[in-house]
Amino acid sequence: MAATSSIEWTEMTWNPVTGCTKISQGCKHCYAERMAKRLNAMGSNRYRNRFAVTLHPDLLRLPLRWKQPRVIFVNSMSDLFHENVPKEYIHQVFETMVRCPQHTFQVLTKRSGRLRQLAAGLPWRHNIWMGVSVERTDMVHRIIDLASTPALVKFLSLEPLLRPLPDLPLGGIHWAIVGGESGPKARPMEEAWVQSIRHQCERARVRFFFKQWGGVRKDLTGRLLNGRTYDDMPLLVTHLSAAAFVDDSPISGATATRFKASVR
């Protein structure tokens, strides 16, 4: 349950949990649900329960085997903070991430309330990036929940972007990903919405990543904005203070390299 990824902002995925349930409009055309049904039809044992939340404890220690540093999206096929994932299991996932300082782990949730409740008891490290998904203004409260956590690197996935987000609370946020919905029945995204977010990020010194325009054929619409790609990401660091994620100034003695996401 690990694979190289075509997602522009990561390198590979790790799924110690699969399956989820819909909780907001951003879930309506869930790509993971479509994929799970397809894999079930192909006979994959991991998806024997189709898209019901399923734990895979045999995969909990998988990243420990990987010595080469990797950027890893955790639970691309689920939500780690789903109410059906036991608190003890979430701690086990975090324990593995802590034991793998060579990797950068990207955790993304729509269940920011549970994240807020559990965050104080979790072992946060600089290689654990925590994000929330926000698709409309009625979900902006997720950003407030994220900002209240001790996570050292905080990011937003503004995808699928379904409405303008004119007044994002970006204090304490380090990175924002923007993208339109893709696949069957994809809902449209307007350029003005994207440009507004880009300007907000510039003012707040938040790194901006434009993932895609989306549409039924995202390969045709591409990801150019203003005639260029926007691939900014936080710094990948070893023993580096959290301040480095919002400040580009040199830090003596630190190992820091910028990661430009691409699939190799």
| Residue 2 vs residues 6, 76, 253: alpha-carbon distances, Å | 13, 10, 33
Q: How many residues does the chain have?
A: 264
What's the sign of the alpha-carbon dihedral 32, 65, 152, 7?
negative
What per-residue confidence (pLDDT) applies to 250?
Answer: 29
In a domain, 190, yes or no: yes
CATH number, domain of 231, equals 3.80.30
In a domain, 32, yes or no: no
Distance in angstroms (rounded) separating the CA atoms of residues 210 and 231: 7
Number of domains in the chain: 1
Measured between its terminal Cα atoms, the distance across the chain in Å is 19
In a domain, 125, yes or no: yes
pLDDT tens figures, 219-239 = 999 999 999 999 999 987 543
**Bridging pattern class, strands 255-258 and 235-238:** antiparallel
Residues 54 and 219: beta-carbon distance below 8 Å: no
In a domain, 133, yes or no: yes
**Domain extent for 64:** 2-14+58-258
In a domain, 206, yes or no: yes
What's the sign of the alpha-carbon dihedral 263, 199, 174, 167?
negative
Residue 157 forms beta bridges with which residues? 133, 177
What per-residue confidence (pLDDT) applies to 255?
Answer: 28
What per-residue confidence (pLDDT) applies to 1?
Answer: 59
In a domain, 224, yes or no: yes
What per-residue confidence (pLDDT) applies to 264?
Answer: 25
In a domain, 177, yes or no: yes
What per-residue confidence (pLDDT) applies to 259?
Answer: 42
Ranges of the chain whose pLDDT falls below 50: 238-264
Name all contacts of 137-141 with Cβ < 8 Å and 24+ positions apart. Answer: 137/163, 137/164, 137/165, 137/166, 139/24, 139/26, 139/110, 140/165, 140/168, 140/169, 141/112
Residues 127 and 255: beta-carbon distance below 8 Å: no
Q: Which two tokens stand for residue 53?
A: 């939340």
Closest CA to 129 of 65, 209, 61: 209
Residues 114 and 81: beta-carbon distance below 8 Å: yes
Distance in angstroms (rounded) separating the CA atoms of residues 133 and 158: 6
In a domain, 209, yes or no: yes
